[in-house]
Structure 1
Amino acid sequence: MRVFVTGATGFIGSAVVPELIGAGHQVVGLARSDDGAVALKAAGAEVHRGSLEDPEGLARAAAAADGVIHLAAIHGGTDPHAAGAADLRAIEAMGAALAGSDRPFVATSGTAIAAVGRLVTEEYGPAPGTHRTASEEAAVALAERGVRSSLVRLAPSVHGRGDQGYVPRLIAIAREKGVSAYVGDGANRWPGVHRYDAARLFRLALEKAPAGSRLHGTDEEGVPYRDIAEVIGRHLGMPVTGIPAERAYDHFGFLGRWIAVDNPTSSALTRTLLGWEPREAGLLADLDEGHYFQA
């Protein structure tokens, strides 16, 4: 297949591109910058210059492809609902270009979009009112318009070498504060998945996910956050302690709203449906390899 990939130069996308090429697919990656274009060419992909905020350009690229994997998202402190609106416009534009073709469209969401505090399965729809709710519903609904659409919900921690997400920020906060902290008793659970396992899941979704399916990119159902804090503390040689919920924002900044979230998530249906089995190190084992703590 000729596959158009948004977010192709990001942490996950840069693993998805070689996964697709290694399986015999031709990749056209979205690049916003000259550096991104150079990286894509070096990986063996073609380049489509543009951005998530150019829905017309995204639609043209989707129309010229045999399938689309949509990984791009707007980050960097942008209002989440504004970012969600831009994502929705991009999904609608690419979906319209694929309508009636039965070509695959794989979108991206997160496991925390579903109601938290219970085991989340692929059968649950999104919680109402989140910045990703409309995008997730629009992606799944493309199945009714003749698109073989599917949705991959990723764990909060997609980990591996080169990670610039939650875990590196937590390590930086621990270094700044001199303590590795968790909220309350730290029993709340974070699912995780290695970026290479996530990349393989996106390829399998592209190749054979049924129209309208929700898929979960999680290795472990949930790692107690206290265990994550303990590994960080051990590697940094600093104390590990719990803090009350009312101090979470002061200690963790904007991450304070997420630190205590309990998000146990099952990927059992995804594994059965696609034959996907994670092969890489789990979150704690990946942390223990030490690369997260190198300068």
Structure 2
Amino acid sequence: MKVFVTGATGVLGRHLVPGLVAAGHQVTATTRSPGKVAQLRAAGAEPVVVDGLDREGVIAAVCAAEPEVIVHQMTALAEMKSLRKMDKVFAATNALRTRGTDNLLAAAERAGTRRVVAQGHNFVYEQSGGPVKTETDPLISKPVSSGVQTMAAMKYVDQTVPLKAPEGIVLRYGTFYGPGASDPMVEMVRKRQMPIVAGGTGVWSFIETTDAAAATLAAVERGAPGVYNVVDNDPAPVAEWLPYLAEIAGAKPPLHMPAWLGKLLAGEFVLAQMTTARGASNEKARTKLEWEPRYPSWRDGFPAWVNG
């Protein structure tokens, strides 16, 4: 098939593009940077330089490629040293998740592309009720004040793509780790800068980056329209996975911190992730996309990531 991949040099795209090419697909891949054209060509894709917010440029690029599938992986996440002002940090990504999504959907309609596969996140779930959420559970209704725009942008992708694309799929990824992802987190753990806040009761779902790329490839090739959690099999509270990561990284055990101090130092969003976050079930993706993670648990994947 002809597949058009946006955000092709990002954390996931750099694994997805070679996977699509190896599977026999004809890939057109976009980047905003002319300096990354050679990287895409070396991966076997036809590179296109275009800004996802340039509506006419996106439409022209998609129409020229005539893809059967569009994969939306556009983000603009560079430095994330602090998430105290989440909406400020994610401002460019929020624009790509709203205006950029609209541009791709308009391009898909113009080019006659039926299937659009877009990047979502399992942060969208309501942080109450049971610890593990399925795709039918309610989405968050009252996000933290510092992340209102960011959560609205995530929900926009989540709700718009399945509604407006004939075969719209949103993949609600867990927290990425692995090649090219979350390396600063390891350094923070080694420096004991990532404490367990208020008992670490928040439940996280992880996904290794090559596993996320494999699930995305599966969604390109099959699966009914809708949303899918792309996470490993092992949702776990912070109090469980963070000490394990410290051990794997050769660090001292993480410090413990009360909620008030965690909020003061790291902000509302980090406090929520540490205390009230909910994990996600991957049963639908495993069944309907016929996908299995190579690393079924972060217990298997963290050592390969940190020591690889």
Common topology (TM > 0.5)? yes
Task: Report the equivalent of 2:84.
Answer: none
Q: Residues 36 and 226 from structure 1, CA distance in 2 versus in 1: closer, same or farther, beyond 3 angstroms?
A: same
Paired residues in the alignment total: 284
Q: What is the rounded CA distance, in whole Å, between the counterparts of 2:164 and 2:53 in structure 1?
A: 20
Task: Report the equivalent of 2:53.
Answer: 53
* Cα distance, 1:65 vs structure 2: 1.7
Q: Which has the larger displacement, 104-113 or 215-224?
A: 215-224
Are 1:248 and 2:228 counterparts? no
| Amino acid aligned to 2:217 | R
Q: Residues 87 and 262 from structure 1, CA distance in 2 versus in 1: closer, same or farther, beyond 3 angstroms?
A: closer
- Structure 2's unaligned 5+ residue stretches are 81-86, 142-147
1:118-177 Cα deviation digits (max 9, x unpaired): 32111235435623122221111114xxx211110100x2221222x3xx333332344x
Q: Residues 252 and 17 from structure 1, CA distance in 2 versus in 1: closer, same or farther, beyond 3 angstroms?
A: same
1:163-211 Cα deviation digits (max 9, x unpaired): 2x3xx333332344x4652112223211011212211111111112223
Q: Do 2:76 and 2:92's aligned partners in 1 also have CA atoms closer than 8 Å? A: no
* Cα distance, 1:244 vs structure 2: 0.9
User: What is the 5 A alignment of 1:220-235?
Assistant: 220-234=233-247, 235=249
Q: What is the rounded CA distance, in whole Å, between the counterparts of 1:71 and 1:126 in structure 2?
A: 21
TM-score (norm 2): 0.83
* Cα distance, 1:256 vs structure 2: 2.7
What CA RMSD, in Å, does the superposition of the two structures yield over aligned residues?
Answer: 2.5
Task: Report the equivalent of 1:199.
Answer: 213
Are 1:87 and 2:97 counterparts? yes
- Structure 1's unaligned 5+ residue stretches are none
Are 1:42 and 2:42 counterparts? yes
* Cα distance, 1:3 vs structure 2: 0.8
Task: Report the equivalent of 1:161.
Answer: 179
Task: Report the equivalent of 1:103.
Answer: 114
Q: Residues 255 and 238 from structure 1, CA distance in 2 versus in 1: closer, same or farther, beyond 3 angstroms?
A: farther
TM-score (norm 1): 0.86
Q: Do 2:32 and 2:51's aligned partners in 1 also have CA atoms closer than 8 Å? A: yes
Q: What is the rounded CA distance, in whole Å, between the counterparts of 2:47 and 2:274 in structure 1?
A: 37
Identity percentage of aligned residues: 24
**What's the secondary structure of 1:89's corresponding residue?**
helix
Task: Report the equivalent of 1:10.
Answer: 10
Task: Report the equivalent of 1:72.
Answer: 74
Q: What is the rounded CA distance, in whole Å, between the counterparts of 1:56 and 1:72 in structure 2?
A: 17
Q: Residues 105 and 180 from structure 1, CA distance in 2 versus in 1: closer, same or farther, beyond 3 angstroms?
A: closer
Are 1:151 and 2:153 counterparts? no
Are 1:237 and 2:251 counterparts? yes
